[in-house]
Amino acid sequence: MAERRALIIGASRGIGLGLTRELADRGWHVIASQRGPSEQLAEVAKGGRIEVVTADVTDTASLEALAGALAGNSLDVVLVNAGIMGDESQTADNATADGVAEIMMTNAVGPARAGKLMLPLLRDGGTLAFTTSRLGSIAESFGGFDLYRMSKAAQNMLARGIFARHAKERGVALLSLHPGWVQTDMGGPTAPLTVEQSVRGLADVLEAKHPAEHRFLAYDGEEIPW
């Protein structure tokens, strides 16, 4: 089988770093992005099969430069994983315009821009994925985490637009992936899943063949209602 190739945007630590290692261990060539120098990613990249690049999803010029540098690739998977929790003390009642802008740019608009700019690097029939969150499901919401939920629901909506207008016609599957609640800087030490458990599931989902549909899937393959 030809070597499978993936681009992961937001791979300096946490789930993105873990998935970079997991896919490389499974024989994939992984192009892994950091915003600034990541010692953890440099360490993982020593194992081989990993190429480190730089991008910030809120900096369009950096995304365009990355897409230009990688032009000519025919990737099997592009995953836009970057995300922030934002200032949890900000709710819809008291949020500042800056707080709203930061989380919407980082979790929704920036990832959508990144995904669309990287789409030409994907082979027809490949998979474009975004790390979203179950907290972005409107169907399941019981409130709380206002800005984070809003940003991930918005990301899901923008992903649907990319699918309908740009991905479907090329047979590209679009996955909005919930990694589970995971022990990372964001998830905290009391989360039920280790990074290894989450990324094993995510890698299985990314390795599977998917129809050209936009689906909201958890790390264990469970379908989540929008």
Ligand X SMILES: NC(=O)c1ccc[n+]([C@@H]2O[C@H](COP(=O)([O-])OP(=O)(O)OC[C@H]3O[C@@H](n4cnc5c(N)ncnc54)[C@H](OP(=O)(O)O)[C@@H]3O)[C@@H](O)[C@H]2O)c1
Residues that bind ligand X (CB under 6 A): 10, 12-16, 35-36, 56-58, 81-84, 106, 131, 133, 178-179, 181-182, 184-187, 191
Are 10 and 155 in contact by the 8 Å Cβ rule? The answer is no
CB of 169 to ligand X, least distance (A): 27
Cβ of residue 212: shortest distance to ligand X, in angstroms?
A: 24
Helix-, strand-, coil-residue percentages of the chain, each rounded to 5: 40, 20, 40
The smaller minimum CB distance to ligand X, of residues 119 and 184, is found at 184
The H or E element that residue 130 is part of is: strand 122-131
Min separation Cβ 210 and ligand X, Å: 20
Instruction: Output 187 or 201, the one with its CB closest to ligand X.
Output: 187
User: Given its phi and psi angles, is residue 169 left (phi above 0), alpha (psi -120 to 50 degrees) or beta?
Assistant: alpha
Q: How far is the CB of 16 from ligand X (least distance, A)?
A: 5
Query: Of the two residues 10 and 126, which places its CB atom closer to ligand X in the complex?
Result: 10
| Of 81 and 167, CB closest to ligand X | 81
Do strands 75-80 and 5-9 pair parallel, antiparallel, or not at all (unpaired)?
parallel
d(CA 188, CA 191): 6
